[in-house]
Amino acid sequence: MLASTWGFLKRHKRKFIFAGAFVGGVYLLGKYAQKKIRDIQEREAAEYIAQARRQFHFESNQRTCNMTVLSMLPTLRDAIIQHLNSESLTALLKNKPPNKLEIWEDLKIISFTRSIVAVYSTCMLVVLLRVQLNIIGGYIYLDNSALSKNGMTPLAPPEVQQQYLSSIQHLLGDGLNELMTVVKQAVQSILGGISLKQSISLLELEQHVNQIREQVEQRGRSSTAESSGNKSTLSSYMMPDEESTLSAQACGLTEKDVGTIKLLNETRDMLESPDFCIVLNTCLNRGFSRLFDNMAEFFRPTQQDAGQSITADSLSNVSLPLAKLIPIVNGQINSICSETPSQFVQDLLMIEQVKEFSANVYEAFSAPQQLQK
């Protein structure tokens, strides 16, 4: 029996060798596949955890952006009121001075100027802080991630963060002063010749403000179009130019100064991008729309019930003397720059383009490729 079995094995030797090799190969291939699947699962889990951590950090950073904007609104409002002080003119009018008409004319210009400046500067503050804090947020994420735990110098050490974020003072200082000058000139050009007794509807008021906007936003565009490409004509109010920054740091640049200048230059690149111009313009359109919504209540036809909706036709039929509009316009800064609650700012923060732009900035500066630059 053993002989027959041995003979059977010899006759089918190749088949047994092939079968054994096949079974062994399948076993090894199965083990290899299991290992690969396990590696893929571990890698996917690590990527999911990293993505979840990154998403959590991004959302936390956006909350920081919102709180920072709200905390800076009182400073912005005080700066505007200090330079465009309509309250002093109102106090003079109470004393019935002989030059009352002249004071009313000054009050007209200042009232419109400060409300329009409030819309511009608030929109700029919202979008600029979105850029700055998401650039910093991206670098902080990389500094805190495992990617940078190899002895590399931090991309954004605390000293650089502080120096970089202090550049927002340009918008609250020299940039704001320049913006007020430009807006005041435009207001004088459009509204200076309109009599205080002339009646104006809300739609006519909107047309006048749009003409003022056109002058402000077109200022200098023809002279900078060739050199700056898509650069926003409003960016100079938000950031000092590169030459000013370099001259201020000219007396021996430290490592901190070099890091800050790098961040400032990256911010300028963002401010000069087409996407930034689109987002800022969207915010301005929403901001001025909210301004007119606030004033629409004062144009409500008297014969309508309080609960009846306001239509464009009904608004066009109601006009108010410009003198009566001045106090209405003058008081708008308190709703525009109100920190809590601020429906005006909430409208800006909820704009979809603002959210998408913020995510794109954070994505760009939290990518691992930034470590290699």
- Encode pLDDT of 128-142 as tens digits: 999 999 999 888 888
Question: Looking at per-residue confidence, does 110 or 30 come out higher?
Answer: 110
Q: How confident is the model at residue 158 (pLDDT cuts 50, 70, 90)?
A: confident
Determine the pLDDT at residue 142.
84
Distance separating alpha carbons of residues 271 and 277, to the nearest angstrom: 7
* Cα dist from 362 to 66, 195, 254, 281, whole Å: 15, 50, 27, 21
Distance separating alpha carbons of residues 297 and 310, to the nearest angstrom: 9
Distance separating alpha carbons of residues 359 and 325, to the nearest angstrom: 41
DSSP symbol at 341: S
Write the pLDDT tens digit of every residue in 268-289: 999 989 999 999 999 999 999 9
Determine the pLDDT at residue 360.
92
Distance separating alpha carbons of residues 15 and 365, to the nearest angstrom: 62
> Lowest-confidence range among 17-31, 76-90, 304-318?
304-318
> Lowest-confidence range among 4-13, 79-88, 127-136, 170-179?
4-13
Determine the pLDDT at residue 133.
93
Write the pLDDT tens digit of every residue in 48-76: 555 667 677 778 888 888 899 989 999 99
Whether the pLDDT of residue 255 is over 50: the answer is yes
| Contacts of residue 327, Cβ cutoff 8 Å, sequence gap at least 6 | 111
Alpha-carbon Rg for the chain, nearest whole angstrom, is 32
Write the pLDDT tens digit of every residue in 1-41: 556 665 655 665 566 566 666 666 666 666 666 666 665 55
Q: What are phi and psi of 250, to 5 degrees?
A: -65, -30
Count, residues in the chain:
373
Whether the pLDDT of residue 79 is over 80: the answer is yes
Whether the pLDDT of residue 206 is over 80: the answer is yes
Q: How confident is the model at residue 195 (pLDDT cuts 50, 70, 90)?
A: very high
Whether the pLDDT of residue 112 is over 60: the answer is yes
